[in-house]
Amino acid sequence: MTGFTTGAFAAESHDTFPAPVFVTLQKSGSVEALPKGTAWNGLAGAHYDAVSPDGKYLLVSSVNLPEAYLLNTDTGKKLGTFQVGPVAQGVAISPDSRWGLAVGAADGTVTVIDISKHKKLKTVAVGKGPHNAIFTANGDKAYVTLQGGGAVVVLDVPSFDKVGNFPFPG
């Protein structure tokens, strides 16, 4: 009966997790990779995370520190730590897996990370209270929500210049 249970769990696990899932564990400062159940430590206040579309990288923000971390998804190895401004929030990775964004809510910025070079490219002032970021499907723009400003900022890619915003009531 044990063999049957293990086989059933393996099939169920694949159905539940057809692709890897990464769960941040703030209190322990780690990320757990499912369904493997591997935990990667040393990520103080692991908060938001984003996996690259090619599946190679994981970008994680810290709720406790003004940092974001870039990890290799196969090994959990930390490839970089980036200063992103106080109260790090949302992170995003572009559809081509080239760029990462990390929000610094308290100073109204978004940090742009060159994923392949594991380097910070620039910091962009976006406005009051940024919270999260997302790239368009074709990767030519990125949007940043401004919880403190009631708007969504538009960034041009790859210059990452702020090219506009539109109000978003509520």
Question: pLDDT tens-digit profile of 39-48?
Answer: 999 999 999 9
Mean pLDDT of the chain: 90
Q: Where are the beta strands (DSSP E) in 105-161?
A: 109-114, 119-125, 130-135, 141-146, 151-156
Q: Rounded CA gap, 107 and 96, in Å?
A: 28
**Domain-located, residue 39:** no
104: CATH: 2.130.10.10
Q: Rounded CA gap, 144 and 153, in Å?
A: 5
For the segment 39-58, the average pLDDT, to the nearest whole number, is 96
Chain centroid offset of residue 170 CA: 25
pLDDT at residue 2 greater than cutoff 60: no
Question: pLDDT tens-digit profile of 102-130?
Answer: 999 999 999 999 999 999 999 999 999 99
Residues 6+ apart with CB under 8 A from 83: 66, 67, 111, 120
pLDDT at residue 64 greater than cutoff 50: yes
Q: Rounded CA gap, 100 and 151, in Å?
A: 21
- The confidence score (pLDDT) of residue 37 equals 87
**Domain-located, residue 145:** yes
Place of tokens 């499912």: 34
**Domain-located, residue 28:** no
**Domain-located, residue 8:** no
Where does the pLDDT of residue 36 fall: very low under 50, low under 70, confident under 90, or very high at 90 and above? confident
**Domain-located, residue 2:** no
- The confidence score (pLDDT) of residue 32 equals 94
Place of tokens 């159940």: 37
Quick one: residue 37, left, alpha or beta (phi over 0 = left, psi -120 to 50 = alpha)?
A: left
pLDDT at residue 12 greater than cutoff 70: no
**Domain-located, residue 36:** no
Place of tokens 């992170």: 91
For the segment 158-168, the average pLDDT, to the nearest whole number, is 94
Six-digit token string for 110: 């978004």
- The confidence score (pLDDT) of residue 6 equals 37
**Domain-located, residue 19:** no
The residue range of the domain holding 49 is 45-167
0.75 cut: is pTM over it? yes
Question: How many structural domains does the chain have?
Answer: 1
pLDDT at residue 140 greater than cutoff 80: yes
**Domain-located, residue 7:** no
- The confidence score (pLDDT) of residue 10 equals 45
Six-digit token string for 165: 């915003």
- The confidence score (pLDDT) of residue 79 equals 98
For the segment 61-81, the average pLDDT, to the nearest whole number, is 96
